[in-house]
């Protein structure tokens, strides 16, 4: 049994016309003798409208009722898709989370799928039906409706692919795939044909628009091939798969960039064990996300300089928190708005020496000063002045031949 | 345990502001030490919008998916009510049909409630919770979502009252109760304080706006007291109960009227057994509702005149059906548009002689000609010219002292 999971995002089912197109896409897979499982999000705008209603009822709306409220959106989209397939003469029906069931654990609004009972869906597929499964929802062991916080309907699609042993999980969305860099920032950006899970995870700033990292990680752990493609254009999308399946890998697969960061430097921090934790703990409890962290080697073994980046909108909050923090001593506090992080990502750099040098040289040629550097096995990130971001993107895109 | 079922119609929960008001009403019953069960319809307009969407998908939209689609509306309204009660510090949660469960049988779009598992709801009530139950929906024995065709959320409320042994079922709607006659047609119409199930059933043309006859019949069979009242005005509504509970009954409780009927007369029908069936069967199969039927005594035993009324919009269809009907012989076919049926209703007429006479005399005084008469134990209906309808209503309302 050749099973494929097709997941449609909110914009793909945003209007009756789009739902009709989605039904045609589903029908085309059936003609290719696939057993098709469909997962749908709510029609675009619906979820936001429901959230707005909940906030009008209470600023502190019940989390369990929030799940009941929001899950109605997927129910509507799914019944319309199933209705359209039946209209086209295709056996189909909706499957709500409780009917399968899809079991979740964790708090309301932020549950995770634990297991999916495959029996009924398997039987239905064997009987020639196309199950239309409400994404984003599950039930807990008290028979309450839950919603899947991170990843939402993508997570539903990945887990269905896992439990029903799908050959592939296709994520239909409003973009054509994953690009070498954000096409809105660089016109020369090219669609990537194939990318590894690891690279995709590192390209979070690009990937987040396409898929949540948590879903990519789920796919990686369960070795599920994902294709991200557009429901409007009939073109191949981007295949996300495991490294070993990728031949002729480029050294660099993509470049990500952030454009609204701030840099914080604590000069002359008393260098003793636990000092970094003392700085970052109150930031973390206040939901401030610290990105790059660099600590200079302390010459005398007593003092050190610590630099980190945060989102620009968190800057004022961060200032306050550091100033009232009595657990740390430092001589000076420096803030800088308007920095940009540029990262080159590629599994190819593991086996190719000199990538770092090429990156630095390409930036140097354009007289772009590098403020901070951090590296991982498949990624090199540099912090530069925001005004140079576009120039840097262009130079690196060319240097690593991503235009080709 | 003093249990009360409160049912809110679509207009009562039509906006966030109205839902907040509904939460206050619920809270007020809780203060009176009632265990409150709430049943809600979808927010007004939502169901129509969903039906519209289904028709855009397919003119022949799947009936099982229609039920999945429409039941989402109640889910939204219920979660908002529960969310508001929780906001007010009251223990509450939604209960969807599958969570209780509410078992139905019969076809999709038109199922009937067979049974309701009372255990979980009883336990929840004992624990001090206010269950908010999605009306209009159930599940069948294949675990599919169903909707209750006739009666909708009212039927849900009545059946919950039955299975959970409620003291009373209160139907909150956008009218203040049941009136002696339609207040839009007669300003002098008065709200009825108490009315028997039987009278309410006979007042279908008035009652339909308040409650579906099928729900009144369910209440009658299960001896459940219903109060119909407005969710906007804090006034007592109309109590619908059994005859034996009603003291000081008026002779006539209410007057109903139709204003858009047509009269059909077949003159000189060959009078043989089965002829009436031959006339009415093809009308019935074409969903034409025949109301009053009068057959004159045939003088010679060979021919008879048959008169019946139908809705004006069915007139052309009826003409065609009769003309092509080869099973019947008649000399002449007469149609008359613009007739009106006026009915006086009251259990009091069983024990009070002369009601018919008083009705005819009151109409005669106003020079209103009676075309057809039909009677039941607690109702007398006459067919008159539509142009006299208002005059007749006024005369009868006064004659039977309904203004008082």
Tens of pLDDT, residue by residue over A48-61, are 999 999 999 999 99
3-class DSSP state of B61: coil
* CATH 3.30.2130.10 intervals, chain B: 255-399
DSSP for residue A347: G
Distance CA B230, CA B209 (A): 13
Q: Using 50, 70 and 90 to split pLDDT, how confident is the model at B205?
A: low
Contacts of B60 in chain A (CB under 8 A): 87
Distance from CA of A190 to the nearest CA of B (A): 37
- In what order do the strands lie in the sheet containing A137-139? A112-116, A102-105, A137-139, A145-147
Residue B327 pLDDT exceeds 90: no
A53/B16 CB distance under 8 A:
yes
A84/B58 CB distance under 8 A:
yes
Q: Could you tell me the two tokens for B11?
A: 């207009």
- B72 in reach of chain A (CB within 8 A): yes
Of B289, B284, B296, B277, the C-alpha closest to B372 is B296
Does residue A225 contact residue A241 with C-beta atoms inside 8 Å? yes
Distance CA A166, CA A159 (A): 10
CB count, 10 Å around CB of B247? 6
**Closest chain A CA to residue B69:** A76
B76/A50 CB distance under 8 A:
yes
Cα B303 to chain center, whole Å?
38
- A51 in reach of chain B (CB within 8 A): no
Q: What are phi and psi of B154, to 5 degrees?
A: -60, -45
Tens of pLDDT, residue by residue over A206-233, are 665 788 888 999 999 999 999 999 999 8
Distance CA B113, CA B124 (A): 21
- B99 in reach of chain A (CB within 8 A): yes
**Closest chain A CA to residue B53:** A16
The confidence score (pLDDT) of residue B92 equals: 98
The CATH superfamily holding the domain A257-399 is: VC0802-like (3.30.2130.10)
The confidence score (pLDDT) of residue A348 equals: 85
Cα B224 to chain center, whole Å?
16
The confidence score (pLDDT) of residue B207 equals: 59
- B321 in reach of chain A (CB within 8 A): no
Contacts of A76 in chain B (CB under 8 A): 50, 53, 69, 72
Say what the pTM is.
Answer: 0.86
The confidence score (pLDDT) of residue A206 equals: 61
Tens of pLDDT, residue by residue over A292-335, are 888 877 677 778 888 999 999 999 999 999 999 888 888 899 99
**Closest chain A CA to residue B139:** A99
Q: Which of B50, B65, B71 shows the shortest C-beta gap to A86? A: B65
Residue B164 pLDDT exceeds 70: yes
- B65 in reach of chain A (CB within 8 A): yes
Strands A332-345, A303-311: parallel, antiparallel or unpaired by DSSP? Answer: unpaired
Tens of pLDDT, residue by residue over A152-191, are 899 999 999 999 999 999 999 988 999 999 888 899 999 9
Tens of pLDDT, residue by residue over B280-303, are 989 988 888 888 888 877 677 778
B61/A83 CB distance under 8 A:
yes
- A18 in reach of chain B (CB within 8 A): no
Of A356-360, B311-315, B346-350, the poorest mean pLDDT is in B346-350
Contacts of A98 in chain B (CB under 8 A): 98-99
B145/A56 CB distance under 8 A:
no
Does residue A373 contact residue A400 with C-beta atoms inside 8 Å? no
Q: Which of B66, B80, B94 shows the shortest C-beta gap to A57? A: B80
Distance CA B164, CA B160 (A): 6
Distance CA B209, CA B188 (A): 19
Distance from CA of B134 to the nearest CA of A (A): 11
Determine the residue among A50, A83, A119 to mutate to test chain B binding: the one whose Cβ has the most chain B Cβ atoms within 10 Å: A83
Distance CA A189, CA A400 (A): 12
- CATH code for residues B255-399: 3.30.2130.10
- B61 in reach of chain A (CB within 8 A): yes
Q: Could you tell me the two tokens for A383?
A: 């912090």
Tens of pLDDT, residue by residue over A107-138, are 999 999 999 999 999 999 999 999 999 999 99
A69/B84 CB distance under 8 A:
no
* CATH 3.30.2130.10 intervals, chain A: 257-399
User: What stretch of H or E contains B352?
Assistant: none
Distance CA A390, CA A395 (A): 9
Does residue A85 contact residue A130 with C-beta atoms inside 8 Å? yes
State the Cα torsion B73-B74-B78-B81 to the nearest 10°: 70
B62/A50 CB distance under 8 A:
no
CA atoms within 13 Å, Cβ hemisphere of B400: 32
Distance from CA of B86 to the nearest CA of A (A): 7
A16/B56 CB distance under 8 A:
yes
B65/A96 CB distance under 8 A:
no
3-class DSSP state of A21: helix
**Closest chain A CA to residue B56:** A16
Distance from CA of A20 to the nearest CA of B (A): 7
- B13 in reach of chain A (CB within 8 A): no
Compute the mean pLDDT over every residue in chain A, rounded to the nearest whole number.
92
Fold of domain B3-174: Carbamate kinase (3.40.1160)
Q: Which residues pair with A293 in a beta bridge?
A: A308
Q: Cα separations (Å) of B363 from A268, B371, B394? A: 105, 12, 10
H-type alpha helices, B127-223? 152-163, 197-202, 204-207, 213-221
Residue B213 pLDDT exceeds 90: no
A57/B84 CB distance under 8 A:
yes
Determine the residue among B19, B65, B132, B133 to mutate to test chain A binding: the one whose Cβ has the most chain A Cβ atoms within 10 Å: B65
**Closest chain B CA to residue A66:** B79
**Closest chain B CA to residue A82:** B65
- A395 in reach of chain B (CB within 8 A): no
3-class DSSP state of A57: helix
């Amino acid at each position: 049994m050749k099973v494929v999971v097709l997941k449609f995002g909110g914009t793909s089912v945003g209007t009756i016309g789009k739902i009709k197109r989605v039904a045609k896409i589903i029908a085309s897979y059936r003609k290719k003798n696939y057993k098709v499982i469909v997962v749908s999000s709510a029609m675009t705008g619906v979820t936001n409208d429901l959230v707005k209603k909940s906030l009008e009822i209470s600023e502190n709306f019940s989390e369990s009722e929030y799940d009941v409220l929001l899950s109605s959106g997927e129910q509507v989209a799914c019944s319309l898709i199933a209705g359209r397939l039946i209209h086209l003469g295709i056996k189909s029906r909706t499957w709500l989370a409780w009917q399968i069931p899809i079991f979740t654990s964790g708090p309301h609004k932020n549950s995770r799928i634990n297991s999916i009972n495959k029996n009924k869906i398997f039987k239905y597929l064997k009987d020639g039906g196309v199950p239309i499964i409400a994404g984003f929802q599950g039930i807990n062991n008290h028979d309450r409706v839950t919603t899947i916080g991170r990843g939402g309907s993508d997570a539903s699609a990945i887990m269905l692919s896992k439990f029903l042993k799908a050959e592939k999980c296709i994520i239909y969305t409003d973009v054509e795939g994953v690009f070498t860099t954000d096409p809105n920032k660089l016109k020369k950006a090219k669609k990537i044909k194939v990318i590894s899970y690891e690279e995709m995870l590192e390209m979070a700033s690009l990937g987040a628009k396409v898929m949540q990292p948590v879903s990519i990680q789920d796919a990686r752990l369960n070795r599920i091939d994902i294709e991200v493609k557009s429901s409007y254009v009939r073109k191949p999308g981007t295949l996300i798969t495991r490294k070993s399946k990728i031949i002729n890998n480029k050294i660099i697969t993509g470049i990500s960039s952030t454009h609204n960061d701030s840099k914080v430097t604590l000069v002359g921090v008393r260098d003793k064990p636990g000092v970094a934790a003392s700085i970052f703990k109150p930031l973390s409890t206040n939901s401030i996300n610290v990105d790059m962290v660099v600590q200079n080697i302390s010459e005398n073994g007593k003092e050190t300089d610590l630099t980190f980046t945060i989102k620009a909108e968190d800057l004022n909050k961060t200032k306050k928190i550091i100033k009232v923090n009595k657990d740390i001593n430092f001589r000076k506090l420096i803030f800088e708005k308007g920095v940009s992080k540029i990262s080159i990502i590629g599994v190819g750099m593991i086996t190719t020496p000199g990538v770092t040098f090429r990156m630095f040289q390409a930036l140097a040629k354009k007289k772009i000063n590098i403020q901070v550097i951090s590296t991982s096995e498949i990624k090199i990130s540099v912090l530069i002045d925001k005004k140079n971001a576009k120039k840097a993107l262009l130079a690196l895109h060319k240097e690593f031949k991503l235009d080709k």
